[in-house]
Amino acid sequence: MYVNSGYFQNSRLPFQEKKKALRITSAGTYQLYTWPKLPTWRPKGRIDWQLVYVTAGEGHFIFDGREVTVPAGNMVLYQPKQEQHYYFLGKDRACYWFVHFTGRYVRNILKKYEIPMDRYILHTGLSYEYEDLFRRMRDELTECAWGYEETLTYLFRELLITMHRKMYDDEMRITGFLRNEMDIAREYFRVHYNEEISIEQYAASRSMSTSWFGKSFAEDTGVSPKQYILELRIRNAQVLLETTDGTVSEISRIVGYENPMYFSRVFRKAKGVSPANYRKVYREHYLRAIETCHRAD
């Protein structure tokens, strides 16, 4: 697990700012790899505000007694004294950033930038701009250079502006992001369909959880990633059976199956006939079609 955080005056104790309009008290990141589970439970919440940005994998949040999976590309806003109950799993290779803030006019500031306060989850989309702003806030809190408090408020307001722009685009950036990711996935599968593809590893390489990627891919294409790859293999096997004299074993290896018997079972299940019978029936139909054309001439 990787942790890198910064705290106001190097103190992890939360506090409530009653004089200044806005004060950033902490910011940082947690990245889970080998650590199995990272839980957080504050039954009475905190006295300050918190914004959690899920940037890879997914988080599991309990809101009002109901568990909700929050995938990468979303933020969760906690108000003071709201129960905080969530966890992240290492198997998801989860990563999230956070910032704590307080002040006399926090609510008015959030309202100014039209940040919803009537729900927990904010669909903000994925963006390196977010990570850069969280990172810079963390660094300011770590280094405490001259003027860092003022710089923190500017960075936080820039974060709110960026969130507003991405949340209120005519077409949500998250939708654009997903469409682009699904296009990339389809192209990857088309090129590598005959190789051993791990859906889990592919999703992780794109900073997505397996479940979220699978659900998004199915919504975009109508089939699961595994079914999409299967259809590519069967379709290309059909072409090879129709147009070449390669053996079933050779075609099996070409489309990604080392075991010809397993390939035959998969093909039969998909097309209703064995590969050999498919070729035989296809060529019989083809020859009859040619003969019909000749007679017509």
pLDDT tens profile 122-160: 988 888 899 999 999 999 999 999 999 999 999 999 999
Place of tokens 């890879």: 56
Q: What pLDDT score does 170 carry? A: 42
Contact 62, 46 (CB under 8 A): no
For the chain, percent of residues with pLDDT exceeding 90: 59
* Structural domains of the chain ordered from first start: 2-168 (2.60.120.280), 175-291 (1.10.10.60)
Q: What pLDDT score does 177 carry? A: 64
Tell me the residue ranges of DSSP E strands in 119-221: 121-122
- Mean pLDDT confidence for 199-220: 85
Nearest to 57 by CA among 246, 207, 277, 217: 207
Q: Please name the amino acid found at residue 280.
A: K
Give the DSSP H or E segment for 253: helix 248-254
pLDDT above 80 for 174:
no
Q: What pLDDT score does 115 carry? A: 94
End-to-end Cα spacing for the chain? 75
- Mean pLDDT confidence for 266-279: 93
For the chain, percent of residues with pLDDT exceeding 70: 93
CA distance 8 to 12: 8
pLDDT tens profile 212-263: 889 888 888 889 999 999 999 999 999 899 888 899 999 999 999 999 999 9
Number of separate helices (H) and strands (E) present in the chain? 10, 10
pLDDT above 90 for 204:
no
Provide the pLDDT confidence category of residue 206 given band limits of 50, 70 and 90: confident
Contact 162, 136 (CB under 8 A): no
